[in-house]
Amino acid sequence: MWLWNSPMRRRGNFVLGLALVFAAGCRAPLPNIPQVIVLGIDGMDPGFVERHWDSLPNLARLRDRGSFQRLATTTPPQSPVAWSSFITGLDPDEHGIYDFVHRDAASMRPFSSMSQTVAPGFVLPLGPYQLPLSGAKVVSLRRGKAFWQTLAERGIPVTVVRMPTNYPPLMAGRALAGMGTPDLRGTLGTFTFYTDDPEELTRSVSGGRIVKVDVENGRVVVPLQGPPNSLRRDATYSSVNLTVEVDPKNPAALVQMGGGATVLRQGEWSDWLTADFPLIPHVTSVRGMFRLFAKQLQPRFQLYVSAVNIDPESPALPVAEPASWGRAIARESGRYYTMGTPEDTSALRQGVFSLPEFLSQTRLVFEDERRLLRYSLAHFDWGLLFFYFSAIDQNSHMLWGKHDAELLEVYRAVDQCVGEVVARAPGAELIVLSDHGFSTYERSVHLNAWLRDRGFLTLKTAAGDDTTMESLDWSSTEAYAVGLNGLYLNLRGRQRSAALLQNLREQLLAFRDPVNGRQVVEAVYGTKPSRENAAVAPDLIVGYSPGYRASWQTGLGGTPAAELEDNTDAWIADHCINSVDVPGVLFTNRGPEPASVRLQDVTGRVLRLFLAPHERR
């Protein structure tokens, strides 16, 4: 099996399983308060499940005893959009999350759609430092009321573990933040790769940093960057040094930092290590945690350091509500990834990881998730438990269609967890759902280049390989693209034009790939945002045909030279296409569901399990 295959782990799982079954027999729900467990499995695809029923016995049993069907996802079918709809029961036009990336209507710069940090209102300058006189805060950009807030207000116990776009976690019941939670640097994940390869240079890459180091007499000191120092005017990164001494005879190394040390063999992962990053020397610091992977120690030196995660035992940013609950989990069950999307797909895409090394890292993430699940089940009596799995989604991006055997092992590991939930809470109402399915990603669409070539977008200079929005000629540009599905009209000095929208829609639907004649865009949708969301809403949402997706450059407003090119990236599958082509899944252990169900409809079902009709507001 994919995980938990050592004799020690098997014995530990057996003992823990007995304990959970025994505990289930000793607890009873409060009168009139049901047990409801919702498992959110990001990216679980109905077609893949149907092709592998024999390998997924717990899901098959759930289908046979309850129900299974396709679940209509949101438009666009992106995880922040879909989970925001599940959280609120609202469409994107109402909750205001349309993409991973939105654009600022004033500056035209892209920004994360999920949350933003508001700097302190007042600071005291002191030499190179600036001391805050009021606190900074992180705010969610999602509108609408979360369904578990409604439950918590009525005294129903709720536990929400790693719900996407719940950062910072809402003050309702108990919660661990999920997708959108940054690393300690404030990014969505930045790895560091140290190497003495003579052909390598220190440089930034997408999702990480490559750092050239020199090994002298088997010893190397590597600077590990922590967060930008918000107490300094220049916001320089705080850092600590790791000293690595490589054994001259064996492929192993001693890693020292501060007062701690660990021994790491080549090809081995470390446990969680902590570091205190100084903000003001000898006065204040911020603690983070990370993992090391000794990719190679001899003859070359290659050391991978994960993104520095927020330490749940000493959180510098809000990752749990209440914070004491996050600390209790870490103390009792062990530290866990707090970053919202911890699988390091960037390291594989940049060639730092081989595919087996990437799979080993995703197993570590899943081990953390499974421990969190078991802890949550052991402390769940009644009310609502929501638990989220990221493994299928992140592995599908890198495995879909080419490495089905490896992907099936990930599905099987999640299927085992479904079985554990059923055994632990046999009387609970169980709902298993996913936010979307998957498709191949064969060709990249540079949508701004397409707009340029048809006269909708004008550049100040000739297009290069990575021309950005900063070089657009706004006086003559009518439309531009930012994000993975959004298309915006340029309204500087103009009125929103129905004729322009119709022209764009017709030409997009007529767009054919010159290489194979296939239709590139399958559907185009308009938006009708609420007044509060009008500033961030795209004017059109582009539903690409299966096999096509907006390019990475398009996501940030780039305008490369070509309109289309082959996808040669390690990221080989996606779901940011026409929503009808990538439905999610819905399993329940109670009776048949209506023939057609949307993700937002499940929100209402959960509320109906707890509340009388007049309370479901």
CA angle 289, 291, 292 (to 5 degrees): 135
Give CA–CA dist 542/128, Å, rounded.
Answer: 48
> What CATH number labels 1-97+143-166+341-438+582-617?
3.40.720.10
Closest CA to 386 of 153, 194, 535, 173: 173
Residue 162: predicted pLDDT: 97
Residue 24: predicted pLDDT: 40
HSE, CB side, 13 Å, CA atoms: give it for residue 534. Answer: 5
Strand runs labelled E in 94-236: 101-103, 110-112, 115-118, 123-126, 129-132, 137-140, 158-163, 174-177, 191-195, 203-205, 208-212, 219-228
What is the mean pLDDT, run by run of 10 residues, along the chain of 617 residues?
36 38 43 89 98 98 96 97 96 93 80 66 54 59 93 96 94 95 89 94 93 93 83 74 93 88 95 87 82 95 96 92 95 94 97 98 97 97 96 98 97 98 96 98 98 95 68 92 95 84 97 98 97 94 98 94 97 98 96 84 94 62
Residue 614: predicted pLDDT: 52
**What is the domain partition of the chain in residue ranges?**
1-97+143-166+341-438+582-617, 183-316, 441-574
Give CA–CA dist 563/443, Å, rounded.
Answer: 10
Terminal CA-to-CA distance of the chain, rounded, Å?
Answer: 45
Instruction: List phi, psi (to 5°) of 424.
Output: -75, -35
Integer angstrom CA distances of residue 18 from 14, 22, 495: 6, 6, 67
Q: Read off the DSSP letter of residue 532.
A: G
CB 465 within 8 A of CB 446: no
CB 486 within 8 A of CB 99: yes
Q: How many CB atoms lie within 10 A of CB 192?
A: 20
Q: Read off the DSSP letter of residue 512.
A: B
What's the sign of the alpha-carbon dihedral 596, 599, 603, 606?
positive
Residue 25: predicted pLDDT: 40
Residue 107: predicted pLDDT: 77
